[in-house]
Amino acid sequence: MDQKFRAELVREITEFLEQNWPRAAGEGSTVITDRQLQAAAAVLMVSVVRADQTSRQDEHRALEDAVSQALDLDEETAAVVLRAAEDALSRGASFAAILQSLEAGCSVSQKRRLVEALWRIAFADAELAGQEEYLVRKIAGHLNLTTADIVETKIRAREKFLAEDL
């Protein structure tokens, strides 16, 4: 990936994280780009990894892979985006605003893919902790996915995890 493009991507994501998410969810509406939607997804993915308050190498590897695939980035750039997402969470990014942005800016199929990616991260350490399951279900609910969508994405993610593990 071209260094100029990489720097632009990181700058845009960082600015979006800093400027839009700390504010309350109800304050105005913002048109967000695909890149920004993907950055929002990265923040949610980091949140799932942190949900059980233990972070294993398997989860971090799955997280880097998921962000890399979602943003179509090389591993190094995906790691930078993850650091920006982690920084946003550390600075108290508004989870409600992130979910509102995703709910308003994503199609149903994008929401399903996001929730499936979150399930895959939750399964990455071969143990689905209660906190991880709760958080993924809560996110899916805020994205207005149906119970059927939640169950289907969970089953697909588990099947993919098991197929990779074999």
d(CA 25, CA 84): 20
Quick: pLDDT tens for 98-108: 788 788 878 88
Contact 40, 71 (CB under 8 A): no
| pLDDT digit string, tens, across residues 75-94 | 887 787 788 778 777 777 77
Task: Tell me which residue range forms the domain holding 46.
Answer: 3-165
Taking the CA of residue 155 as centre, how many other CA atoms within 13 Å lie in the half-sphere pointing to its CB? 6
Mean pLDDT of the chain: 76
- CATH code assigned at 127: 1.10.3680.10
d(CA 73, CA 42): 13
pLDDT, mean of residues 141-157: 95
pTM given for the model: 0.72
Where are any strands of DSSP class E within 16-166? none
Please count the structural domains in the chain. 1
